[in-house]
């Protein structure tokens, strides 16, 4: 009985260690080694399984897809340090400033572009909080609406491609999909790529942005006191043209960079790694063209990139060790049997996994969830017939919703750290509730019409 429950006990001890505040990578690896040694001493675990660890680590180092991670991180940090978002927000505000809720719409659109550029939730929330929250409060926007919108916009980095979340998720799901097909007796397995996941997330991501904007317009119509009207534009046609030119000059370079990176991946011209290299160099070119970086800032960028990347890969190594020990204790068979006996079949199993991922999002970052949870449940769900692209998009939106949900959502903590002291935490919590409802509505749409995620990849690669 104890041996049967060992995989669950292993998982629970790791969660407990993380809640105590121990570093993620060392919690995963340390607990796994402890369980392996105890199991070896009790003759219930084959220690020779650990001999596979060096080859697994070498496989991580040799993974061409994962090379895209440091390059995308570098691209995002450069865009953040060069204050490109600040110029975009000022320009967008001039363009939409006259209409009621124009500043809010500007924040959503700039947040979308920033999410596509950085793919880092914390960076987007903090940047938008520092730049836009004081302006919105000064102009008379409802504090609850303002804070909720900034948190929600910041989490777009989870779903808007090119996203680090989707890069990591694409690599993990690719391995899980091949494993699932082998379990089903398919010895010429199909593949799913990061590009497939980018395509699958594109329509849901843009739809989510549209739903945010529709919500702002509805609030502006039904509760005009929450969303003030912008200053009247008394300028001439020439000055309006000048404003438009200013907006385009600020918007086009960043938009062009994103389109080049994303377009080259989706069209098959470049791999995610190659496109990420182009994005990194393009971000540097934008920054130097604006004369926005000096030598010290470049050092800070390199240091920040190295710090984030080291964290990601150290967690991946710890997760690999955890996965090895988990499988050695028969964890895979336990999960498969549990899902097989679950009422509701594939629907019940999928709903159960989504709830678990949602709850884990309160205490774990997306990296841990992708590297620890998805490799365990992914092959089982995919073997039950789920589409890998649809599953990946659902997991990304689910994580995005989890990071927004009180009281533990990471996005709430990020904004709380930069919001003025007079803004109560309860105000932030109240503000995110409508956006959580919007994201749940999107997941329901994806459940009812999976083609929202699967149609574009199928159409793009239909003739290939």
Give pLDDT, residue 235. 45
What is the domain range of residue 433? 65-310+400-460
Q: How many CB atoms lie within 10 A of CB 142?
A: 21
Q: CA-to-CA distance for 405 and 402, rounded, in angstroms?
A: 5
For 78-88, write each residue's pLDDT tens digit. 877 777 767 77
Q: Is residue 333 part of a domain?
A: no
Q: Is residue 159 part of a domain?
A: yes
CB contact at 8 A, 339 and 380: yes
Using CA atoms, how far residue 384 sits from 41, 186, 335, 348, in Å, is 37, 14, 13, 11
Q: Is residue 131 part of a domain?
A: yes
The number of C-alpha atoms within 13 Å of 364 and in the hemisphere containing its C-beta is 28
Q: Is residue 220 part of a domain?
A: yes
- What average pLDDT does the structure give for the chain? 82
Q: Is residue 369 part of a domain?
A: no
Give pLDDT, residue 373. 83
Please identify which residue in the block is written with the tokens 């000055």. 239
Looking at the chain, the whole-number percentage of residues with pLDDT higher than 90 is 14
CB contact at 8 A, 375 and 172: yes
The number of C-alpha atoms within 13 Å of 279 and in the hemisphere containing its C-beta is 37
Give pLDDT, residue 3. 60
Mean pLDDT by 10 residues, the chain (464 residues): 73 80 81 90 86 84 80 81 73 72 85 72 75 84 91 85 83 86 75 86 93 93 82 51 72 80 81 85 83 82 86 82 85 76 81 86 75 84 89 91 79 81 87 93 94 88 58
**The total number of structural domains that make up the chain:** 1
Q: Mind giving me the DSSP string for 340-377?
A: HTSTTHHHHHHHHHHHHHHHHTTTS-HHHIIIIIHHHH
Give alpha helix (H) positions in 372-424: 374-383, 388-402, 410-418
């Amino acid at each position: 009985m104890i041996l049967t429950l060992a995989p669950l006990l292993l998982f629970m001890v790791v969660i407990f260690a993380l809640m105590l505040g121990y570093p993620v990578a060392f919690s995963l690896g340390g607990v796994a080694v402890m369980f392996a040694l105890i199991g070896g001493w009790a003759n219930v675990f084959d220690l020779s399984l650990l001999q596979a660890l060096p080859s697994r680590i070498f496989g991580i180092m040799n993974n061409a897809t994962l090379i895209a991670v440091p390059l995308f991180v570098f691209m995002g940090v450069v865009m953040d340090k060069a204050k490109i978002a600040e110029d975009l927000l000022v320009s967008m505000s001039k363009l939409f400033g006259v209409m009621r809720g124009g500043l809010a719409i500007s924040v959503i659109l700039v947040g979308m572009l920033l999410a596509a550029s950085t793919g880092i939730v914390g960076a987007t929330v903090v940047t938008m909080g520092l730049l836009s929250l004081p302006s919105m409060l000064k102009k008379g926007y409802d504090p609850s609406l303002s804070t909720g919108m900034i948190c929600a916009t910041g989490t777009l980095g989870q779903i808007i491609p090119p996203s680090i979340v989707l890069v990591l998720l694409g690599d993990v799901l690719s391995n899980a999909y091949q494993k699932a097909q082998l379990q089903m007796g398919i010895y010429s397995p199909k593949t799913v790529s990061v590009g497939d996941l980018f395509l699958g997330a594109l329509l849901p991501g843009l739809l989510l942005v549209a739903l945010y904007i529709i919500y702002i317009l509805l609030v502006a119509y039904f509760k005009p006191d929450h969303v003030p009207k912008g200053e009247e534009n008394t300028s001439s046609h020439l000055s309006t043209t000048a404003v438009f030119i200013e907006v385009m000059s600020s918007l086009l370079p960043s938009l062009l960079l994103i389109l080049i990176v994303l377009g080259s991946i989706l069209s098959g011209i470049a791999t995610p790694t190659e496109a990420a290299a182009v994005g990194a160099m393009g971000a540097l070119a934008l920054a130097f063209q604006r004369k926005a970086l000096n030598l010290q800032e470049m050092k800070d960028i390199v240091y920040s990139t190295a710090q984030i990347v080291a964290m990601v890969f150290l967690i991946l190594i710890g997760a690999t060790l955890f996965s090895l020990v988990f499988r050695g204790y028969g964890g895979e068979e336990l999960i498969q049997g549990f899902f097989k006996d679950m009422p509701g079949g594939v629907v019940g199993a999928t709903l159960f996994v989504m709830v678990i991922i949602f709850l884990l999002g309160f205490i774990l970052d997306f990296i841990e969830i992708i590297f620890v949870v998805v490799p365990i449940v992914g092959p089982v769900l995919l073997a039950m017939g789920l589409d890998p692209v649809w599953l990946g998009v659902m997991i990304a939106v689910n994580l995005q919703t989890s990071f927004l949900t009180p009281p533990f959502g990471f996005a709430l903590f990020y904004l709380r750290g930069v919001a003025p002291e007079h803004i109560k935490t309860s105000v932030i919590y109240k503000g995110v509730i409508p956006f959580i409802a919007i994201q749940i509505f999107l997941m329901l749409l994806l459940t009812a019409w999976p083609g929202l995620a699967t149609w574009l990849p199928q159409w793009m690669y239909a003739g290939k």
